Every structure is written in C-alpha cells, then in structure tokens.
Amino acid sequence: MLYGRRMTQKPTPPTNQASETPEGDRIAKVLSRAGVASRREAERMIAAGRIMVNGKVIDSPALNVTKQDRIVVDNQPLPEAEDARMWLYYKPIGLVTTNRDEKGRTTIFDELPEELPRVMTVGRLDLNSEGLLLLTNDGGIKRKLELPETGWLRRYRVRINGRPRDADFEPLRKGLVIEGEKFQPMIVTLDRQQGANAWITVGLREGKNREIRRAMEDIGFAVNRLLRISYGPFQLGELKPGEVEEVRRRVLHDQLGLERDDTAKPKRPTRARKPGKPHARNLGSDSDRSRQPTQAKGNARTSGTFKSGASSEKSRGKPARGPARSQNGQTNRKNSKNPRR
C-alpha cells in the first residue's frame, strides 16, 4: 500500500436492480386489519393453507399485497376492512377464549350474538374466570392493547379461601418470581371477610397465564372466584353474563388516539356468525354469592347491548359489584332479539 498519495475510488455505476420496498402491506397485516385474525393467528392460517392470493394457496407470510390482489380466506373472499370498533363482553365461566379448542370445549365465539361481525379478543380470561373481555374487529387495536408498553391497569375482584391479613399480600406488592418467571408488582387491597372466604381487589399491568391464581397459591391461598371488572378505562359496570356492549367511537378516539370520524354513528353489524352449541352450565355453589349488578336502562347516548346464548343460561353466581360506570357516555347499548344458541 502506498502512503502520501490520495486514494480515489470511481463511483459505482447505478444498477437496474430495484432497491425500493415492495408495494402494499404484509398479508398477515392485511388479514389482521380486516378482522380475520391477529397477525400471529393469520400466520398460522397461512401455514395451514387456508389463504389464497390471486388464485394460489400461499404458504409463507413473507408476501406483500395491495388492493388489486384477490385474497380468499377459507374459500370466502376477504371482506373489506371496516372502521375500527370495540365491544365490552361479560365472559361467563365455562367458555374458552380461543377461536377453536382442540378438546372440543365451547368457546366464546360459539356463544357471541349473531349481530356481531368477526371479532378478536384483547387478551384472554381462563376457563374458570369471568368478567370483562374486550373484543375488536381491528388487529391493530388488539396488538396495541396487548403490548406490555401500553401498561393499562387491569382490575379484578378475587375471592380466596382463608382469613388473610393485609401483610400477607406484601410479596405480591413487591413482585414475585415463581418457577423462574418474574411477576410485576400487583396492587392488592383486602376488602372484606365473608365466612370462610375473603374478597380482595387486585390490579396488574400484564397478562401472564393464570397470573393471579398462581400468585395467590404461592402465598398459600386458593382462588375460588375471579372476576375482571376493568381493563384500562373500560369498565364491566352493569353488564350481565353473556352481554356485549359496543364502545362509542368518540371514546375509542380519545382513549386510543384513532384517526377516525368520531361523529359517525356505529354501523349495524351485517355479517351474522353461525350459531354455536350451548355452553356448559356454570359450576359452583350458590351458597356464597355477591350482589348481581342490575340492568342499566338504555338512553339516547347508547346504541346497543347484545345478549349471547350464554346469558340465558343459569350463571355460576352473581358477581361482585364492580366500580360504578362513569357518566361520560362511554358505551353503546341495544337489545338483541336473536341470541346465539
């Protein structure tokens, strides 16, 4: 190598190879926006050969599509993406929060009312848990609310067996490590003793599998009732088991920052879902129940409460009353005449 001499390099001639990003969006993202499934579920559907693009079955999510491409899902044309919507659902005990259950158990999608369009759940509630479950037709909303960075507080009314003292919950407030898995600190309030059981309120900002049950077991208490009463600003309020209530567009705009026309009226669902089989009757003793919230009266600011097939079954028991619903007109209500069975 020569020193003291300026080294020059001829510029590389331009090539004809395209370096721009392919047009359109990833197929999984498009399916998610259309309300077909979450991105992960869409990728599983692709791997299973359930998606066709322009007449050909695809086997990889590494594909960008545009509005000109013809997409078919399970032999049905992909519906046009609708405006983002969200519903509050009182999940009863005994239903699985999955689209399909390998054990053949009844899922919430078997019991949702026919008036609803295709929806996805935001997070999950296990088989023996009940209460507020958010539903949306928009994969972007689902993903945003499930991200740990969002950090919305989820509050639960929990009944445990035993006579705890407030100090017993200090390990939960500091954060636990169970079988190598770290749990974030929880907000725990001891509410009252009721016979052999105690009612507590638990708040957490993550959604690990059976987190509250596992945490309580770790400090020596068994959970025999678990009811989610809020998810961020959204409240269970006076919903009854199986009821579905749509959130107002203005609330979605304010809480999620959606760039939507918040003055538009919610569209009436047009795609009816196939009726599902009756769900298993809820289990449990009727000897120890809290008060059941009463049905809220409709008003001009609401648009609809739908009753699922599960709502007509005898519920496991009357849930503990959650916090009073705010008076900001958060949700829309209407009665459905055709509950899913």
Residue 242: inside a domain, yes or no? no
- Each residue's pLDDT expressed in tens, for the chain with a length of 341 residues: 444 444 445 555 554 444 455 678 889 888 877 778 778 888 999 999 999 999 999 999 999 998 889 999 999 898 777 788 999 999 999 999 988 888 889 999 999 998 888 899 999 999 999 999 999 988 888 888 888 777 889 999 999 999 999 999 999 999 999 999 999 999 999 999 999 999 999 999 988 889 999 999 999 999 999 999 999 999 999 999 999 999 998 888 888 876 544 334 444 433 334 444 443 333 333 334 333 333 333 332 334 566 665 544 444 444 444 444 444 444 444 444 444 43
**Has 126 been annotated as catalytic?**
yes
Residue 35: inside a domain, yes or no? yes
Between CA 168 and CA 339 the distance in angstroms is 44
Sign of CA dihedral 154, 156, 161, 163: positive
Total number of domains constituting the chain: 1
pTM over 0.85: no
- Show the domain range for 55: 25-77
Residue 297: inside a domain, yes or no? no
| pLDDT on residue 263 | 32
Pairing label, strands 181-182, 25-26? unpaired
Residue 234: inside a domain, yes or no? no
Report the DSSP beta bridge partners of residue 131: 91, 228
Residue 208: inside a domain, yes or no? no
Residue 277 Cα distances to 105, 112, 303, 308, angstroms: 10, 11, 27, 12
217 phi/psi in degrees, rounded to 5: -60, -35
Angle at 153 between CA 132 and CA 87, to 5 degrees: 35
Residue 67: which CATH number?
3.10.290.10
| pLDDT on residue 20 | 54
Give DSSP secondary structure letters for 100-163: S-TT-PPBHHHHS-TTS-S-EEES---TT-EEEEEEES-HHHHHHHHSTTT---EEEEEEEES-
Residue 272: inside a domain, yes or no? no
Q: Length of the chain, please?
A: 341
Catalytic site residue from 126, 218, 254, 288:
126
Residue 121 Cα distances to 41, 106, 118, 170, 255, angstroms: 12, 15, 10, 32, 18
Residue 71: inside a domain, yes or no? yes
Residue 47: inside a domain, yes or no? yes
